[in-house]
Structure 1
Amino acid sequence: MSHALIADLGGTNARFALVPIHQYEPLEVRVLPCKNYNDFFAAAADYIGSCSVDMADIDAVVLAIAGPVNQPVIRFSNNPWHFTREEVQSYFGDNKPVALLNDFDAVGHCLEVLSPKDLVVVGDHSTVDPKGPCWVVGAGTGLGVSCVVPQDHGPNIILPGEGGHVDLSSCSDLEDDILKFLRKRHKRVSAERVLSGMGLENIYEAIALREGVERRLTAPQIGEALALGTDPIAVAALEQFFVFLGRVIGDLVLSVESRGGVYIAGGIVPRYLNEILSSGFRDAMQDKGRMKEFVSPIPTFVVMSEYPGLMGCACYASYLVSKA
């Protein structure tokens, strides 16, 4: 049986797996901390040395990368790894089809193979237009965004971009204070400054300072405080995180009428599913003045699959082999 080697390479972890061609459930998944390896090739060698399939039996390689891939030198947004397409192709063999995708392009491809059990509806609307464009958004080490255009034949078209780095706006006194706090530190404030693990920490610190407390917790510490239920600042920070997420997604919907829905992935939101369901996320998304009725019908889903990026790589690998 022929296989694909697939990998979802993020800012914190590199997830490697094998998958039989035309199947989409990742096998032999290993999660390797990026900081433990000098470069991608060292991590790849570690994985390949331990997997059960010989590289001679690998028919395709698909890598999802946390950063722009249409560059002469591909650099990661949140870790120091870098390489060229030629170096990757040479490493795996010049006769082997290799594809490099943006990490959220890969999540966009996973929409082709996700089952309903992998999705949780947030809000009152769940009806999608299967031919309508959709957005994939996810907060983790950074903020990933991709616009997906479904196709009747062949893979979804994923429009390239770095939407996580758009300017952040505010719509309340609290948000004004958070942006002022971040502007002093960073001058320009992007959406990723609040919608990421680092962003949750930033929100917490800004709200604490607003309350007269100088304190910054790490994202895991905020998670522990939320579990204990003893820190009202942690509760307020997570709520504001979801409000900012709603505002940014509402702006995306205004930019592209995504009747195919909005799919929220990444490492943070699925972890706090109950909290987003009871949060002001949808109200903030729909808070678009006279355009509220335009945005309100757009359904939003949380992607609960453990490895959506790897599933998207597996899906794309099937197309890659069919085309070869």
Structure 2
Amino acid sequence: MSHALIADLGGTNARFALVPIHQYEPLEVRVLPCKNYGNFFDAAADYIENCSISMDKIDAVVLAIAGPVNQPVIHFSNNPWHFTREEVQSYFGENKAIALLNDFDAVGHCLEVLSSENKVVVGDHSEVDPNGACWVIGAGTGLGISCVVPQDNGPNIILPGEGGHVDLSACNEIEDDILKFLRTRHKRVSAERVLSGMGLENIYEALALREGVEKRLTASEIGEVLKFGDDPIAIATLEQFFVFLGRVIGDLVLSVESRGGVYIAGGIVPRYLNDIHLSGFRDAMQDKGRMKAFVSPIPTFVIMSEYPGLMGCACYASYLVSKD
């Protein structure tokens, strides 16, 4: 049986898996901390040496990469690894079909095979136009965004970009203070500065400073204190995170009328599924003045699949092998 080697290479972890061609559930998944390996090829060698399939049974290799992939040398946005497409081809063999995808392009491809059980609607609207454009957005180590155009034949078209680095805007005094605080540190403030693990930390520190307290918690520490519910700054941090997420998504919908819906992935939001339902997320998304009626019908979903990027790689590998 023909297989694909698939990998979702992020800023913190590299997730490797195998999948039979024309199947989409990742097998033999291993999550390797990027910091433990000097480069991608060291991590790949570790995985290949310990998986059950020899390289001669692998016909395709599809990598999802946290950063732009249309550069001569591919660098990661939050990871010191780098390589060229030619180095990847040479490493795996000239007879292998190779594809390098942006990590959120891969999540965009997973929409083709994502089951209804693996997505949860947030808000009052759930009806989608299957032929309508979609947005995929996800906060984790960084902020990934991709625009997906469904196709009747062949893989979805994913419009390339680095939308996580757009300018962040503020709509009230609290948000003004958060941006002022972040500008003292970064000068220019992108959406990723608040919509990521680092973003949670930044929001917490800024809100604490508004209370006259100099305090910064890590994202994992914020998660721990949220379990107890006795840190009002942490509670306000998560609420503000969801409000910023709603504002950014609303801006995306204004940019492309995404009647196919908006799909939220990444490591943070699925962890706080109950909280996003109770938050001001949808109100912030729809808070677009005269364009509220344009934005409001667009449905938003949280992707609950554990490995959407790997599923997208598996989907793309099937097209890749069929094309050959």
- After TM superposition, the score normalised by the length of structure 2 is 1.00
- Residue of structure 2 equivalent to 1:58: 58
Instruction: Name the SS for the 1:179 alignment partner.
Output: helix
Q: Quick one: distance in 2 between partners of 1:227 and 1:39?
A: 36
Q: Which runs of 4+ in 1 moved over 4 A?
A: none
Instruction: Compute the displacement of 1:230 (Å).
Output: 1.3
Match of 2:234 in 1: 234
Q: In structure 2, what is the Cα distance between the partners aligned to 1:186 and 1:223?
A: 25
2:316 corresponds in structure 1 to 316
* Equivalences for residues 1-324 of structure 1 within 5 A: 1-324=1-324
- Paired residues, what number? 324
> Aligned partners of 1:147, 1:243: CA distance in 2, in Å?
21
Q: Which amino acid aligns with 1:322?
A: S
Query: What secondary structure is seen at the aligned counterpart in 2 of 1:283?
Result: helix
1:280, CA displacement in angstroms?
A: 0.2
CA distance in 2, matches of 1:117, 1:172: 37
Q: Quick one: distance in 2 between partners of 1:211 and 1:36?
A: 39
Supply the AA of the counterpart residue of 2:125: H
Partners of 2:47 and 2:237 lie apart in 1 by 38
1:61 match: secondary structure: strand
Corresponding letter in the other structure for 1:53: I
* Separation in structure 2 between the aligned mates of residue 229 and residue 169 of structure 1, nearest angstrom: 29
Give the residue type in structure 2 aligned to 1:237: T
Amino acid in the other structure paired with 2:209: L
TM-score, structure 1 length as denominator?
1.00
Listed one character per residue, the Cα deviations across residues 211-265 of structure 1 (whole Å, up to 9, x for unaligned) are 1110000000000000011101000000000000000000000000000000000
Which amino acid in the other structure matches residue 103 of structure 2? D
Structure 1 residue identity aligned to 2:173? D
1:177 partner SS? helix
User: Which ranges in structure 1 are unaligned for 5 or more consecutive residues?
Assistant: none
Cα deviations across residues 175-233 of structure 1 (Å, max 9, x unaligned)? 00000000000000000000000000000000000011100000000000000111010
Secondary structure, aligned partner of 2:233: helix
C-alpha distance in 2, partners of 1:79/1:314?
23
RMSD (CA atoms): 0.3
CA displacement at 1:68 relative to structure 2: 0.2
State how far apart, in whole Å, the 2-side matches of 1:273 and 1:185 are. Answer: 31
Alignment partners' CA distance in 2, 1:195 and 1:64:
20
Query: C-alpha displacement at 1:304, in angstroms?
Result: 0.2
Residue type of the alignment partner of 2:131: K
Q: 2: CA distance between counterparts of 1:61 and 1:49?
A: 16
- Letter paired with 1:192: E
SS at match of 1:81: strand
Identity, % of aligned pairs?
86
Structure 1 residue matching 2:161: 3-state secondary structure:
coil
Distance 1:105 1:263 in 2: 12
- Residue deviations 1:122-174 (CA, integer Å, cap 9, x gap): 00000000000000000000000000000000000000000000000000100
Paired residue type of 2:66: A
SS at match of 1:80: strand
1:39-73 superposed Cα distances (whole Å, 9 cap, x missing partner): 00000000000000000000100000000000000
